């Protein structure tokens, strides 16, 4: 379905709000506002007044900009309005950011979260009605994401496109196109010399997390008998070193190596090459066995090894990569990811 124009969208938002608040559609009044000092619209729906900021995309960057603007404008109204962000479809990260900022949201796909005095509306589970056909343009495709990773590894260092290209093994033309996309999405800023850095590293990481799909790597699950996750990890690393196979720990094993946050059962290792039957035999690895406790991952791009470092004698991916990969892991992966972010991915932000 085609995304509506801003004017069409605002009428759809008003109608949906009337339905959610349970008032007659005739009882809403839409005030169009224009200019940098105004929200897109002020909607009077029954006894409630909503200050609405519409974005034609639910990307992390777009939603974050809308939150900042609608909160700023709402302050001029005092406490008598409900700040609300409206988009075609609100993704997971956008929902999290709205909740953290205490901003209501609504999407034209049928989902909403509106908590305000005398009002508590939660509608979830509706699919995205505005998916674009074909492969969407993104700065976080496997090879493209090398640029975001490098920027997050050096968040306070303004970098030229040539420096980024050399560091990530991409040509300058390719780097320029990816940087352009990041700039269009409001995720990076340039200094007077044209060097770039993240506008807000947290925003860049959230945008990447929303787009990231661990299942796009080639995953081989299996089982190796062992007493504990730590013992299994060291057993595997010893075997891989003997076979001269390049590896890096990620997921729960990486979280353990980086922070010792929690024990783990599943050991996840990136391998630079497809493992051979002889390697499986040497490791006593049984593929697709019940109770799999080993995930070998053949990455869809070698960039996952960027920033890998030795932790307690074991090569481990950079905290940025470990954080992204934990999204697809079971056990206490959610808690481990948050701990990594709190302890290893805290950045100073300023414009």
pLDDT in tens, 23-53: 876 667 777 654 444 556 888 888 888 999 9
Mean predicted confidence (pLDDT) in 165-190? 93
pLDDT (0 to 100) of residue 79:
67
The H-or-E segment that residue 251 falls in is helix 251-259
Give me the chain's average pLDDT, please. 91
pLDDT at 335 over 90: yes
Range list for CATH 1.10.10.10 in the chain: 145-211
pLDDT at 348 over 90: no
| Predicted confidence band of residue 134 (pLDDT cuts 50, 70, 90) | low
CATH topology of domain 214-344: Beta Polymerase; domain 2 (3.30.460)
Q: Which of the two residues, 108 and 40, has the higher pLDDT score?
A: 108
Angle at the Cα of 75 (from 81 to 52), degrees rounded to 5? 50
As given in the structure block, the two tokens for residue 226 are: 């062992």
pLDDT (0 to 100) of residue 46:
82
pLDDT at 276 over 50: yes
As given in the structure block, the two tokens for residue 22 are: 């349970």
pLDDT (0 to 100) of residue 351:
47
pLDDT at 135 over 60: no
Between the two ends of the chain, the Cα-to-Cα distance in Å is 37
pLDDT at 289 over 70: yes
Angle at the Cα of 229 (from 208 to 256), degrees rounded to 5? 45
**Range with the poorest average pLDDT among 40-44, 150-154, 155-159, 188-192:** 40-44
- Winning range, highest mean pLDDT, from 12-26, 43-57, 124-138: 43-57
Range list for CATH 3.40.1350.10 in the chain: 6-123
| Predicted confidence band of residue 199 (pLDDT cuts 50, 70, 90) | very high
Closest CA to 271 of 294, 291, 255, 252: 294
Give me the numbers of helices (H) and strands (E) for the chain, helices first please: 12, 16
Q: How far apart are CA 265 and CA 222, in angstroms?
A: 12
Q: How far apart are CA 198 and CA 351, in angstroms?
A: 9
pLDDT (0 to 100) of residue 33:
56
pLDDT (0 to 100) of residue 35:
45
Q: Give pLDDT tens digits for 48-97.
A: 889 999 999 998 989 999 999 999 888 887 768 999 999 999 999 999 99
C-alpha separations of 133 from 129, 136, 282, 331 in Å? 11, 8, 46, 35
pLDDT (0 to 100) of residue 21:
86
Q: Return the SS3 of 295.
A: strand
What length is written for the chain? 351
CATH number among 3.40.50.300, 1.10.20.140, 3.40.980.10, 3.40.1350.10, domain 6-123? 3.40.1350.10
Up-side HSE of residue 300: CA atoms within 13 Å toward CB?
A: 14
pLDDT at 100 over 60: yes
Range list for CATH 3.30.460.40 in the chain: 214-344
pLDDT (0 to 100) of residue 128:
94
- pTM for the structure as a whole: 0.84
As given in the structure block, the two tokens for residue 74 are: 């709402």
Domain 145-211 has CATH 1.10.274.10: no
Up-side HSE of residue 224: CA atoms within 13 Å toward CB?
A: 28
């Amino acid at each position: 379905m085609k995304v509506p124009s801003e004017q069409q969208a605002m009428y759809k938002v008003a109608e949906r709000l009337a339905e959610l608040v349970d008032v007659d559609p005739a009882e809403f009044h839409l005030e169009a506002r224009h200019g940098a000092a105004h929200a897109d619209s002020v909607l009077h729906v029954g006894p409630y007044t909503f200050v609405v900021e519409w974005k034609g995309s639910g990307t992390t960057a777009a939603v974050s900009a809308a939150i900042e603007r609608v909160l700023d404008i709402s302050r001029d109204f005092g406490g008598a309005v409900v700040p609300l962000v409206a988009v075609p479809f609100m993704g997971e990260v956008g929902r999290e950011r709205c909740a953290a900022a205490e901003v209501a949201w609504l999407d034209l796909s049928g989902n909403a979260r509106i908590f305000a005095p005398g009002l508590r509306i939660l509608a979830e589970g509706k699919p995205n009605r505005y998916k674009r056909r074909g492969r969407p343009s993104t700065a976080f495709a496997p090879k493209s994401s090398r640029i975001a990773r490098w920027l997050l590894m050096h968040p306070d260092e303004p970098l030229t496109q040539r420096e980024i290209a050399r560091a990530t093994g991409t040509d300058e033309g390719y780097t320029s196109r990816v940087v352009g996309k990041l700039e269009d999405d409001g995720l990076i800023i340039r200094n007077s010399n044209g060097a770039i850095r993240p506008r807000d590293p947290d925003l860049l990481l959230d945008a990447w997390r929303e787009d990231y799909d661990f299942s796009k790597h080639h995953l081989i699950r299996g089982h190796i008998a062992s007493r504990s996750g730590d013992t299994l990890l060291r057993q595997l690393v010893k075997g891989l070193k003997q076979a001269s196979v390049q590896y890096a720990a990620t997921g729960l094993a990486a979280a353990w190596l980086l922070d010792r946050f929690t024990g783990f059962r599943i050991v996840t290792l990136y391998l630079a090459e497809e493992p051979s039957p002889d390697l499986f035999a040497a490791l006593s690895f049984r593929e697709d066995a019940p109770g799999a406790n080993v995930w070998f991952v053949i990455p869809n791009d070698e960039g996952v090894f960027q920033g890998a470092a030795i932790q307690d004698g074991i090569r481990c991916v950079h905290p940025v990569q470990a954080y992204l990969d934990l999204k697809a892991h079971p056990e206490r992966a959610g808690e481990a990811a948050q701990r990594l972010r709190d302890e290893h991915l805290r950045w100073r932000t300023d414009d």
